[in-house]
């Protein structure tokens, strides 16, 4: 944490890798979709994981994979929802932020309806004020649109908000939206901390409680 003091009124989060551990489910869903649409062979999940945080159709285009993979990927993810787990400390983090008078939101690379269904399934919905997916904005991450849309619904200006993510696209989206870019290191999935820290986030948090400390005290 730095010496600069800010008056935070909102904390916006990415979903996968920040609030919930869905990495194993993503791997299985991606493999199932690849086998169904592309056919035999090893699915390039490691390459896919380097693009986490982006909108699935955009990742398919970047990887040169068929867009038809999206439907079976979504269906497999839905079927495996019961295996998604909330990270330790996340419910307490969200409750503490709410108790301190801050509002919270989710801005995710997922479709909005998928994100809301998942958050309902894992019991986090009551602790969040707004959930927006990439299909609900004109430009998904790393553009600022999704973070800006979330803040508009929360009624909080960018200077009083932070965006917590675990992927380079999250940090870029936060900076483009003029909010504090916060790197979440507790997930440990996807691209790993090196790529995330290379984006020079404004704040690095090793555990969910660090987010509360920074947001409530304003020491960020």
Distances (CA, A) of 99 to 11, 44, 62, 94, 158: 13, 43, 42, 9, 21
For residue 17, what pLDDT is reported?
Answer: 93
Mean pLDDT of 89-113: 96
| Mean predicted confidence (pLDDT) in 8-18 | 97
Average pLDDT on 51-59 reads: 90
Catalytic residue flag (residue 189): no
Interatomic CA distance for residues 115 and 121, integer angstroms:
10
Mean pLDDT of 79-100: 97
Residue range 107-161, pLDDT digits in tens: 999 999 999 999 999 999 999 999 999 999 999 999 999 999 999 999 999 999 9
**If you average pLDDT over every residue of the chain, what do you get?**
93
The pLDDT, as a whole number, for residue 161 is 97
pLDDT value at 210 more than 80 = yes
Select which of 14, 21, 145, 166 is catalytic: 14
Asked if the peptide bond before residue 218 counts as cis, ω within 30 degrees of 0, the response is: no
Residues 124 and 143: their CA atoms lie apart, in Å, by: 26
> How does pLDDT run across 164-173, given as a tens digit for each residue?
999 999 999 9
Which tens digit of pLDDT belongs to each residue from 154-163?
999 999 999 9
What was the pLDDT predicted at 52?
84
Among the CATH numbers 3.40.50.1000, 1.20.120.530, 3.30.200.20, 3.40.50.10320, which is that of 10-21+84-217?
3.40.50.1000
**What pairing do the DSSP bridges indicate for beta strands 20-21 and 85-86?**
antiparallel
Closest residue by Cα to residue 165 from 139, 216, 130, 202: 202
pLDDT at 61 over 80: yes
pLDDT at 58 over 90: yes
3-class state of residue 16 by DSSP: strand
Average pLDDT over residues 68-73: 97
pLDDT attached to residue 191: 61
- pLDDT category at 215 given cuts 50, 70, 90 is very high
189 pLDDT band, cuts 50/70/90, is low
**What is the arithmetic mean of pLDDT over 30-55?**
93
């Amino acid at each position: 944490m730095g010496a600069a003091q800010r008056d935070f009124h909102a904390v916006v989060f990415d979903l996968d890798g920040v609030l919930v551990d869905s990495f194993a489910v993503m791997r299985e869903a991606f493999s199932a979709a690849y086998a169904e649409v592309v056919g035999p062979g090893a699915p390039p999940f490691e390459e896919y994981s380097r693009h986490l945080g982006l909108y699935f159709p955009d990742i398919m285009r970047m990887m040169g994979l068929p867009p038809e993979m999206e439907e079976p990927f979504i269906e497999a993810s839905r079927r495996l929802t019961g295996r998604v787990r909330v990270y330790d400390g996340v419910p307490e983090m969200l409750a503490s932020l709410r108790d301190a008078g801050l509002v919270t939101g989710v801005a995710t690379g997922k479709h909005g309806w998928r994100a809301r269904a998942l958050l309902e399934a894992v019991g986090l919905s009551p602790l969040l004020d707004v959930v927006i997916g990439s299909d609900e904005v004109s430009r998904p991450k790393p553009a600022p649109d999704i973070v800006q849309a979330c803040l508009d619904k929360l009624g909080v200006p960018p200077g009083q908000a932070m965006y917590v993510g675990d992927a380079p696209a999250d940090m870029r989206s936060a900076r483009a939206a003029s909010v504090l870019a916060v790197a979440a290191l507790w997930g440990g999935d996807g691209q790993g901390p090196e790529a995330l820290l290379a984006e020079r986030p404004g704040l690095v948090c090793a555990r969910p409680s660090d987010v509360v400390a920074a947001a409530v005290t304003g020491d960020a």
